[in-house]
Amino acid sequence: MPLKPTSLVQFIIYLLGLAINAFVLVAVIRFRRELLASRLNQWAASIMLLCFLWSLTRIAISSRYLANSAPSTSASAWFGVVFNIGVQLIFFLNLCLAAERYFTIHPAGRRSFFFLASLMWVAIISVNIWAFESSPSTNGEFPTDFLQVQILTAAISIGYFVSVVLTAFFYIEIYRRTSRILNQNPSLPLLLAQQGNISESTEISLVHMKIEKLLLMQALVCASILILYGPIQIYFLGYAISGANENYISRNLDWHNGASIVVSLDAVVTPLIILYFKRDMQQRAFFWT
């Protein structure tokens, strides 16, 4: 069970995340024909919708801990399912955003990739549900039975590492392919129309600069997954390696609480990154009133 100060910090962060994502989503709903015209914007809006729902559920959970209301075993299991499925969906949607950007310039294999990726994450989420359905939970993060802990940790680790590795691969390939396109067609950069954030009147000398800015957003989103979820992933692996030993939790309580706070920052960081670099969403979000 998280310490009360940790729950308070998480509550404040998720409240901020809820407000930011709600603010942008109102603009997306109002100007949906314009803002949801491209697949990239659809994936970006999906990530913000997930961050909104994630913040809402985590606020409810943090409120319960702040009220010193000890959750029942069934409530703890529900907390665990929500936490792990939420994290896996964040990995999945960030990977889909990276993949969509890649397939914009290299369409071959798009359907196969999204089909296989969806299948994989359905399997991972199914493992999460099974783990908490077949074993009770007392801490809202892990089942109590060691077998379920091992299988759940393996599933979480696969989702984390696959999303990070593939996201990094897609962004490296985007940079390599767009550089080649620009070198081969210096007078007509194909990426101008494909990215949608660069005006047709932009001088060729500024194209590389603008593309680097777009690629920076992609790199930051990838880095946020690695940085924000890395500490909690290490904690999960350590718990499984310890044999689901309860002493591991007490010995690493500070690490766990710090990692939990870092994870909560994603509800704020990811939408802000998307909003900062998606100029069309940014303008509508700030002027929808």
Alpha carbon 275 to chain centroid, angstroms:
15
- Per the document, the length of the chain is 289
- The reported pLDDT for the residue numbered 122 is 95
- The reported pLDDT for the residue numbered 188 is 46
> Averaging pLDDT over each range in 138-147, 162-171, 172-181, which range is the top one?
162-171
pLDDT digits (tens, 9 = 90+) for 81-116: 888 888 899 899 989 988 988 888 888 888 999 999
DSSP string, 77-118: HHHHHHHHHHHHHHHHHHHHHHHHHHHHH--TTHHHHHHHHH
Find the mean pLDDT for residues 122-134.
92
Is the pLDDT score of 32 beyond 90? no
Is the pLDDT score of 226 beyond 80? no
Please state, as a whole number, how many other Cβ atoms lie within 10 Å of the Cβ of residue 216: 12
Which of 34-48, 118-132, 235-249 has the weakest average pLDDT?
235-249
Per-residue pLDDT band at 277 (split at 50, 70, 90) = confident
Q: Note whether 66 and 8 are within 8 A (CB).
A: yes
pLDDT digits (tens, 9 = 90+) for 187-217: 544 445 445 544 544 455 555 566 666 666 6
Question: Which alpha helices (DSSP H) does the chain contain, by range?
Answer: 4-30, 32-35, 39-66, 73-105, 110-134, 146-184, 191-195, 204-241, 246-251, 253-264, 266-277, 279-287
Q: Residue 45 class from Cβ within 10 Å (0-12 exposed, 13-18 middle, 19+ buried)? A: buried
Residue type at 112? Answer: S
Alpha carbon 146 to chain centroid, angstroms:
28
Q: Note whether 65 and 38 are within 8 A (CB).
A: no
Token pair 């957003």 is found at 217
pTM, entire model: 0.80
pLDDT digits (tens, 9 = 90+) for 64-76: 777 766 566 677 7
- Look at residues 229, 215, 203, 235 and name the one whose alpha carbon lies nearest to residue 175: 215
